[in-house]
Amino acid sequence: MTSATIIRDETLELRLKALRLPSFLAHYGELAERAAAEGWSHIRYLAEIVTLEATERADRRITRLMKDAKLPRDKTVTTLDLNRFSAPLRGQIRQLMRGEFVAGANNICLIGRPGAGKTHVMAAIGRALVEKGHPTLFTSVSSLVERLLDAKRNLKLARELKRLDAFDCLALDDIGYVQHDRAEMEVLFALLAERYERKSVMITSNLVFSKWDQIFKDPMTTAAAIDRVVHHAVVLEFTGPSWRADEAERRAAHSKTSPSEYPEA
């Protein structure tokens, strides 16, 4: 067998394209040359090329999931300062980043004052889930509710809920937004009820559970919503100072102590 035959086989390439094996197609020639040079067995060559295909396919899937997740780029594990949190909260966050809660369709509720780091933590956990191969969607509650309302108006709510069902976890930022319109409450409740005990939800809220009647209006609906969210949930309580307020204070202090850009007249 000649080197040219090893490197390229048009019939083989057509079949690899039909079978959707892009890594196999891209690398079979160079690996064949290496196999010939190093005296690999047929089994060794096949194992190497299959492993390469599987590895690159997994990488492509993670890339696709990361794109679909719509996670905020600046809120990652790397940019998350865990030392700002108490030791128990740090332990909870690290445990949740392992992603095991998704297998049991458990939820995560991140409760606390504005600016305390809830959204950053949720985004970091979401990114960890994606890296482990779990389809995840990060969205503000306002955007999601608008999408669900539009689907309902077009008689496509069931279809939209089914589409969202493809995500192992929904990361819903700021549930306290929904406080005025009963229609908003109804589609949000429909989503929570649809995912109950089947798929995971992460929710940030500036409101403690006792004030969720501001969201769901009706006491019975409020109780039912809380039950579906909290029944199988880990609750993270953020009691520390506001990160944004601290950052604003540091900037203000820095501007006072920094020399003026312009010389005095």
pLDDT digits (tens, 9 = 90+) for 90-117: 999 999 999 999 999 999 999 998 889 9
Q: Is the pLDDT of residue 157 over 90?
A: yes
Output the CA torsion sign for 223, 229, 231, 236.
negative
| pLDDT range class, residue 176, cuts 50, 70, 90 | confident
Amino acid sitting at position 38: E
Give the predicted TM-score (pTM) of the model.
Answer: 0.79
**pLDDT on residue 262:** 41
**pLDDT on residue 86:** 92
Report CA-CA distances (Å) from 153 to 34, 86, 157, 190.
Answer: 60, 45, 8, 15
Domains and CATH numbers, the chain: 3-64 (no CATH), 70-247 (3.40.50.300)
b/e code 186-222 from CB counts within 10 Å (16+ = b): bbbbbbbebbbeebbbbbbbbeebeebbebbbeeebb
What's the whole-number mean pLDDT along residues 50-64?
93
Average pLDDT, the chain: 87
**pLDDT on residue 161:** 95
Report which secondary-structure segment, H or E, holds 170.
Answer: strand 169-173
pLDDT tens sequence across 24-33:
999 999 999 9
- Of 124-128, 163-167, 251-255, least confident by mean pLDDT is 251-255
CA angle 205, 236, 106 (to 5 degrees): 90
DSSP 77: S
**pLDDT on residue 126:** 97
pLDDT tens sequence across 207-221:
898 888 888 878 888
Spatial CA neighbour of 114 closest among 209, 242, 208, 210: 242
DSSP 102: G
**pLDDT on residue 256:** 56
